[in-house]
Amino acid sequence: MKKLNLILTTGLAAFMMQACHHAPKTPNAVKEADSANAANDTPKKDTDARIQAEVNDDDDARFVVRAASGGMSEVELGNIAVKKAHDANVREFGAMMVADHSKAGKMLTALADSDKISLPQSPGKSEENLSDELIKKSDKDFDEAYVDAMVKDHQDDIKDFEKEIKNAKGQDIKAFAQNTLPMLQKHLKAITAIQDSMKHHRK
């Protein structure tokens, strides 16, 4: 009996050590998607697979992953703005983010499915950090932080989309960037006007 107890105890200890060793870490959805795409982007012998590998170019895939992560973040932050913003214009802008980026996200998902590009299931780490920071703020402090973040995000996004339009190897990805760029430019114009108005009222 003592021998049986010793065996059971030893086995339980080994199982617990193994479970601890394989405990899941906080995932980085963007890195996981990039890694999956890099693993899939290998030359194939047959013509169809080789064409697919060319379409699923590393740079194109990374752009799609970044665009998906950014779009999900814009929707998430837009929903927060609708609930927390003090300024009605900021709430209205947040609602526009939810509507426009949700629509663009569906288009991007269809494109990724067609080109066999793995997408992140949630925003990247930097986007999550921004969300965590903003959700702690309230009233005018939230408005200012959210507006400043949206100006910077859309400036960066426009640069990324303009670069992809010039360098994309996949024509469908290039078309997506071309069709989405005017929306981003419209958003930047709207949020910059809100930022200027807020600065004027602070004087």
Is residue 16 in some structural domain? no
Measure the CA–CA gap between 100 and 183, rounded to whole angstroms.
8
Q: Which residue range forms the structural domain that includes residue 82?
A: 55-202
Is residue 49 in some structural domain? no
Residue 178 token pair:
């071309």
Is residue 100 in some structural domain? yes
> With 60 as the cut, is the pLDDT of residue 12 above it?
no
- pLDDT-based confidence at residue 179 (cuts at 50, 70, 90): very high
Is residue 99 in some structural domain? yes
- pLDDT-based confidence at residue 38 (cuts at 50, 70, 90): low
Total number of domains constituting the chain? 1
Is residue 129 in some structural domain? yes
User: Helix, strand or coil for residue 85?
Assistant: strand
pLDDT of residue 28: 73
Is residue 165 in some structural domain? yes
Provide the CATH number for the domain around residue 165.
1.20.1260.10
pLDDT of residue 70: 95
Is residue 27 in some structural domain? no
User: pLDDT tens digit string along 98-138?
Assistant: 999 999 999 999 999 999 999 999 998 999 999 999 999 99
Is residue 81 in some structural domain? yes
Phi, psi at 95, each rounded to 5°: -65, -35
